[in-house]
Structure 1
Amino acid sequence: MTRVLVTGGSGAVGRFIVDELLEHGYEVTITGRNEPAPSGFRAPVRFVPLPLDPKAPFADALNGCDMLVHAAFSHVEGRYRGGEGDDVTGFWRSNFLATLLLINAAAKAGMKRAVFLSSRAAYGKPAPGATLVETMSAHPDTHYGAVKLACERHLESLNRGSGLVVTSLRVTGVFGSAIPGGDHKWRKLFADYLDGQPVASRCGTEVHGRDVAGAVRCVLEADESDVAGEVFNVSDLLVDHHELLAIVAESTGCNHPLPAKTDSASYNVMDTTKLRKLGWRPGGIDQLRSEVAALVTA
C-alpha cells in the first residue's frame, strides 16, 4: 500500500485530497497545527503535529511515507491574497523557505513523487481576456502569488538529479462543503441574497475540492515523464454571481432580484488542456448545481 503524507490535510482543500486518496487505497498521514476530529475522514488517518516552520522536524514527519502532497499554507485567517498581513517576512519564511526545506527533506528521504499546490495567483494580472496557459510568462502582483511562483521555480530544479518527481498544480478558487464547524466560501453571499440585500455582479473561475483532489491523484499516478517539473492549471467553470444565485433561487423558491450578469469577455479563463490530456475530468455545471443546492439546504 502506497503511503502518502498530506500537509494541511484537514484544511479546506487538503481534506478533499485525503478522502480521495483514502478512497483509492492509499494510506494517509496528515500534518497540521491541530489534530482533526477522528470522524473527519472516510477512514482512519495518522496525524503528525507539524507547523509550517523552517525549524520543524520535516524528516521525522516524512518517515515511512512514499509520496508527499504539500497543501499546507500559512496566512492570515480567511485571506490568501493579502494573507501576509503585517508580517511579510514571516509569510515568506513559512511559505517559501519551509516549503523548500520540506521538499528537500522528501528528496533526501528517497521519496519518488511530490505534488505542490500552487495557485492561479502566480499569473498575476495578464491582459484582459487573455487565456491563462501554463507556458505564458507569469507576473504575480501579490505576495501570495509571488511566493507560489517562487516555490514552483525552485521545486522544478529538484527534478534534475534528485530522484524526486515534483509537480505543481495552479489551483483556482475552490468550492465545496465547509470544514466541520466552519462556513463554506459562499455563505455570506447566499445569506445576503436570501435576506434581500444587494449583491454585486462578479464572476470568477471555480473548481470543486473533489476535482482538485482528482487532479492530485492524477499526477501522482501519471507516468513521471509527463509530470516531472511540470505545472498544470486546475480549473473548471467561469461562475457568475447571477448564475450562482439563480441556483439558490431555484433551490429555495426565493424571488429576490438577481444581480446583473457580468461581462465576462475580459476575464482570464484558465486553460486545462494539459491536465485533461492526463485523463482529468472535472464535474462541470451539473456538479456546481448539485453542490450549491446542498449548501443552501444544509
Structure 2
Amino acid sequence: MIALTGATGLLGRFLLDGLPGPIVTLGRRPVAGYAHRLWDLTGAAPDLAGIDTVIHAAFSHVPGRYRGGEGDDPDGFLAANLDGARRLFDAAAKAGVRRVIFLSSRAVFDGSATGVPLTEETPPNPASLYGQVKAQAEAHLAALPLIGQNLRATGVYGPGPNHKWQDLFADYLSGQSVAPRRGTEVHGADLAQACRLMLNSHQTGAFHLSDLLLDRHDLLSEVQRLTACPHAPPPPSDRPVAPLICIRLPALGWQPGGMDLLRTDLPRMLKQ
C-alpha cells in the first residue's frame, strides 16, 4: 500500500491519477474515494501500519512561492517542512516501511555557479532556505535503513485548478507586461510516471526529473496561436539556465511528453 502526503496539492492530484493502488492519503483533509489517515506536517508522525511505500509530496509555503516560500516566518517554514519530513521519515523506518520517495527539487543546486553540469552525482549547493530544507531532508532520508529515493523535480506544470501558469496566462491575455524568463519544466503526468518506475527500483539516492527548457516567449507564442491574442509575447530571455541532467529515470524507461504533451494540454489549461 502507498501512503501519499500532499494529495490535495498541485503535485498530489497528478500522483493520485497516475499511481497504482491501493493508496491512502496522509493529511489534514481527505480526498473523495481514497482511504485517509489524519496527519499534519507540524504534528506527530502518522500511523504507517501496513504501508509499504511513503511518497512525501506535502510542502507548506506561501501560496505561489517555493523559493521565498517562508515569507516572514522562516522558523515556521523549517518546523513544518524540515522537522516534519524528518519525523515522517523516522516513523517510516520505525514502522518497517520499505521505501520512501521524497519530492525534492532542483533548488538543492540554486547556489551553484552558472554552467555547472547538474548531474545526479553533483553535490547539493543550496542558497535559498527552500533549497536548504530540501537538501537537508534528502540527507536525513539517505541515512535511514530503507530504500530512500529523492526525486529532484524542476517546475511541474499541467491542467487543474490553480495551475502554475494561470496568472501568467491571465496577465498576457489582458495585455499586461510579462517579463522575459525561461526555466526547466516537466508535466505532472511525467512526474507520476517517474514515481511508478521508481516503485520497481532498488536504487537509492537522487533521481533527476526534467523535460523542457522552456522560454516564456515560446510558451506564450503557443498561447497566442491558440487564442489569436493581439499582444506580442515577451522577447526571449537571455538568462542562462543549467538543465538538470537526467540519467537514472531514462535508464528505467522514463519517457517524458516534451512539447507534444504541452501543446496537447494547453487548450485545457487556457480554459481553467
Alignment of 1:200-239 (within 5 A): 200-222=179-201, 224=202, 227-228=203-204, 230-239=205-214
Verify the 8 A CA contact 1:76 1:85 in the aligned structure 2: yes
Verify the 8 A CA contact 1:247 1:293 in the aligned structure 2: no
SS at match of 2:252: coil
Instruction: Give the unaligned 5+ runs of structure 1.
Output: 39-43
Amino acid at match of 1:67: T
Aligned: 1:32 with 2:22: no
2:79 alignment partner in structure 1:
93
2:62 alignment partner in structure 1:
76
2:157 alignment partner in structure 1:
175
Map Cα deviations across residues 10-37 of structure 1 (whole Å, 9 max, x no partner): 210012112111xx3x20001222233x
Displacement of 1:66: 1.5
Determine what percentage of the aligned residue pairs are the same residue. Answer: 44
Amino acid at match of 2:254: W
Q: State which of 14, 29, 50 in structure 2 corresponds to 1:16.
A: 14
Q: Counterparts of 1:273 and 1:134 in 2: how far apart (Å)?
A: 8
Instruction: Give the unaligned 5+ runs of structure 2.
Output: none
1:249 alignment partner in structure 2:
224
Q: Counterparts of 2:163 and 2:13 in 1: how far apart (Å)?
A: 14
1:48 alignment partner in structure 2:
37
Q: Counterparts of 2:134 and 2:247 in 1: how far apart (Å)?
A: 21
1:273 alignment partner in structure 2:
247
Verify the 8 A CA contact 2:45 2:87 in the aligned structure 1: no
Q: Counterparts of 2:97 and 2:254 in 1: how far apart (Å)?
A: 24
Displacement of 1:64: 2.1
1:154 alignment partner in structure 2:
140
Displacement of 1:70: 0.7
Alignment of 1:94-113 (within 5 A): 94-113=80-99
Map Cα deviations across residues 152-201 of structure 1 (whole Å, 9 max, x no partner): 1111111xxx2x2110011111101123xxx2111121112212222211
TM-score normalised per structure 2: 0.95
SS at match of 1:108: helix
Map Cα deviations across residues 36-56 of structure 1 (whole Å, 9 max, x no partner): 3x2xxxxx2112221102x42
Verify the 8 A CA contact 2:3 2:53 in the aligned structure 1: yes
Q: Counterparts of 1:147 and 1:157 in 2: how far apart (Å)?
A: 16
Q: Counterparts of 1:137 and 1:110 in 2: how far apart (Å)?
A: 29
1:121 alignment partner in structure 2:
107
Q: Number of aligned residue pairs: give it.
A: 272
Q: State which of 3, 21, 28 in structure 2 corresponds to 1:5.
A: 3
Displacement of 1:239: 0.6
SS at match of 2:149: strand
TM-score normalised per structure 1: 0.87
Amino acid at match of 1:5: A
CA RMSD of superposed structures (Å):
1.5
1:41 alignment partner in structure 2:
none
SS at match of 1:167: strand
Displacement of 1:140: 0.8
Q: Counterparts of 1:85 and 1:200 in 2: how far apart (Å)?
A: 22
